[in-house]
Amino acid sequence: QVQLQESGPGLVKPSETLSLTCDVSGGSISNYYWTWIRQPPGKGLEWIGYMFYSGSPTYNPSLESRVTISIDMSKNQVSLKLSSVTGADTAVYYCARVQAVAVDDYFDSWGQGTLVTVSS
């Protein structure tokens, strides 16, 4: 059973860069897409982007100018960087695995999420 664990600073100052990592255990990063999703407190879910273990990332156009997703195969880690943050970026950030089947792609394993607050 694959497990995902997000980690990173819980508080980031406005205009700085948010950096999170997701440790993947109990399974390999290979052969899957990995994604980041966020949820502002009390609100809905927003897809940030995804990346295949050996490919180029795809980002949500609403965040594309500020976001970078990368994978470190040697560490079994997926990373997220979001630059020039504002209060609107305050959210719980989740990493998840994308399960690709013939009929669909869906998020079948999630980390527990990590709250990042943007504040001075």
Partner 1 sequence: DIQMTQSPSSLSASVGDRVTITCRASQSISTFLNWYQQKPGKAPKVLIYGASSLQSGVPSRFSGSGSGTDFTLTISSLQPEDFATYFCQQSYTTPYTFGQGTNLEIK
Q: What residues make contact with partner 1 under the rule CB under 8 A?
A: 44-47, 50, 58, 60-62, 94, 96, 99, 101, 103-108, 110-113
Nearer residue to partner 1 within complex by CB, 101 or 120: 101
d(CA 44, CA 35): 16
Short-list 38, 28, 34, 43, CA closest to 8: 38
Nearer residue to partner 1 within complex by CB, 49 or 77: 49
Nearer residue to partner 1 within complex by CB, 2 or 106: 106
